[in-house]
Amino acid sequence: MAQATERLQRYLEDELGACRTEDVEQRLDELSTLETALEVEQVTTELDVLSSLANETRYTLVRVLVGAQEELCVCELHAVVDVTESGLSHALSQLVDAGLVTGRKDGRWKKYRATNRAITLITVLEGSVSDE
């Protein structure tokens, strides 16, 4: 980190014209404040949500559930993804953990529904990618 700090010092000298050790300290402080603006726990949750969506199988499941606007049975979801039933189960349980879908047992069938979190995220992501 020593070398990196020296570089930051040279950069600040370049930008500000002059730069003392305190200026570097202060800048490091500001940067660290930006980095820790969020609770570690919240960032962890956000990363879980992102990782859960960042996979073709799981993303397809969420897109379909959001599009359906109703709960769908596992056996219906099986028709839209190309994995075994076991793989489908794993995918759905990861999505439940990330708070993107909820599951409900209905007799011998199990039905899943997209959460508001999933609806919001998918909607915004699709919007941000389509109008570029």
Asked if 34 interacts with a second copy (CB under 8 A), we say yes
Q: How far apart, in Å, are the Cα atoms of 120 and each of 23, 99, 123?
A: 41, 12, 5
When CB distances are held under 5 to 8 angstroms depending on the partner's kind, the choice from DNA, a second copy, none that residue 37 binds is a second copy
Per DSSP, helices labelled H in 36-100 are 40-53, 56-68, 74-77, 85-97
When CB distances are held under 5 to 8 angstroms depending on the partner's kind, the choice from a second copy, DNA, none that residue 16 binds is none
Q: For residue 119, how many other CB atoms are within 10 A of its CB?
A: 15
- Kindly state the tokens that stand for 25: 């300290």
Q: Is 69 helix (H, G, I), strand (E, B) or coil?
A: coil
Asked if 57 interacts with DNA (CB under 7 A), we say yes
Residues that bind a second copy (CB under 8 A): 4-5, 7-8, 11, 14, 27-28, 31-32, 34-35, 37-38, 42-43, 45-47, 49-51, 53-56, 59-60, 63-64, 67-68, 72-73, 75-76, 78-80, 85, 99, 107, 109, 116-117, 120-121, 124-126, 128-130, 132
